[in-house]
Structure 1
Amino acid sequence: MEGLYRALYLLAWIGLPLGVGLQLLAHPPRGWEGWAYPLFGLLFLAALRRGPKEAPRLLVHALGCYLLFEMARAREAWWVVGFWSPSLYLLSAFAYPLPWALLAGAFWGGALALFPLWLGHGEGVIYGHFALSQPVLLALALLLARFRELYGQTRFWKEQALTDPLTGLPNRRALEMALEREAARVERGEEPFSLVLLDLDDFKRVNDEKGHPEGDRLLKEVGRYLVGHVRKGDLVGRWGGEEFALLLPKTHGEQAARLAERLREGLKGLGVTASLGVATYGGDLADLYRRADQALYRAKEGGKDRVVRSTAELG
């Protein structure tokens, strides 16, 4: 989607000079008017150099001045500016937070609506449509901005609620939701999945001897390693403390144990060992958690740095 957004941003910038070009063809500049175009061009380029986030704040005022300028040049054909006025309100909505967006949009909308009166062309049905459409377009643009703001807030809190702030991985709640979705797929007849619980060995010693910043760094490094060494479609999350969890869709116990062994060996390259418990879904999520936790406990009791599968599956 990022490529699409860049293409749309580029399209907006291409459309601006094309619109200026069409106006020049329809109404060639006379006398001093020709000198105004380089000035507007410099303003638009200055806005472009600020990038997508900062450009609207300069561009909204440059565009407002430009539209009034073209309205004055076009005289009897002043109404053509109405085709471009929505972009002015959208820029206001993107440039400023509410209520400043309302003030900026109302200022330029009022200027556009009153300018034909000053030119002596404020009569007839065309002017009525034009003047009435300006507050409606402004209102729609501001509603769009408000929805975008609310969506951003909702997305932020959703990410905060489902993401571990230290590692950036899904947290336990996110993993539980993913496990519930995977269980529903199995109930519909798909292959079973496995859960791997991974606990770093002697992690308290790292915090005690090297400090919590080093412990945090290690947790983040382990998280990156796990994400980089599982299969596409597997989900890695932080279960809590120094414990991680791996959801392995369409994976039986033996396959999950082999993957866990590879991860256990690879973690040694980071200077840390881990104990891992493996269990496969059998129709009850609570039982899956219990069996994976029991397998992890046996791995710890058995000397750490090892993978243990659930006894229910081995039996």
Structure 2
Amino acid sequence: MIGKGLIQRCTQMVRATAFIALGLTMMPADVAAAHFVAFSGSYALPGSLAKGTVVARRFYTPEQLCGEAQCRLFQFKLITMGAVDITSGTTVSTRLSGLSMQVFVNGKPQTLIDKWKDAPIEFSTLVEVQLVKDPYVEISSSTAKELTHVWFFTKTMKDNTEIVNYFRLGDSTLTKIEGTCSVPNQTVELPSTFGRKLGGIGSTAGVRDFNIKINGCPKGYNRVGYTLEPMGGVVDTPGVLPLATDSTAKGVKIRLTGRDGLAAKFGTSIKVDDYDKATGGSYMIPMQASYIQTDAAVTPGTVKGAISLRLDYQ
């Protein structure tokens, strides 16, 4: 006989969307320049946002930054609101109170590069620009006019052409929201079943309906989303949870789907469609759990899996 269980836990994170625009500025004939508005628009965030939390991110290809598949970053500066260069660290505060910008090159947060002293950095992967919770400044309602915060000067690999790139925070507003939604810990018990009810790899049995509960959302957010993350291992099949270490059954796991029968999406923020910005409230996300046969042979025992749920706000 096959046993039971699905455990849900909750953590929180914040993300946000933004818009990107590209403009050109007149420069000498041998120097090109691009002004990237990395972030703009309206943000609504909880005042309790943890430092370093990524609110929004934008990605730029080497082709956008130097016109080739590989570039050399030869000068890099973070510039404060008072036009002062940041000489150490990886973040720079913006006029959206409590939010900073930082840039990742080759997967690492970028620090100052002095073109007269430092060797250039070659990169062929995406450059990521992040809007993050400032480590020192608290979130507060604020507005920001367009302002350059990052100098990102590249050279081509072929003919050493200089490309002058600027990353800007565009016209934006930030609204501080008091409070966040909550998700209670929840255990879902699947009905016991017999291995013979499973008809081969991919077959399912023991379906149980349940709801993910999202409670007490305050009003004011532009969007509330949730992300499901499997716990305890690598997902081999969409919607299928890794076996918890204290499971005793073999050849069978737990599968999560929506009520439409489609496999649950892991690692992707999903909008809570019923969230009402004007009123807030509590919501339920209908789901299903079942056993799924994953190997040719099934050994009876207990089957356990777990997911964490991360909330995100805009």
Mark yes or no: TM-score above 0.5: no
TM-score (normalizing by structure 2): 0.22
Structure richer in helix, relative to its length:
1
Structure richer in strand, relative to its length:
2
TM-score (normalizing by structure 1): 0.22
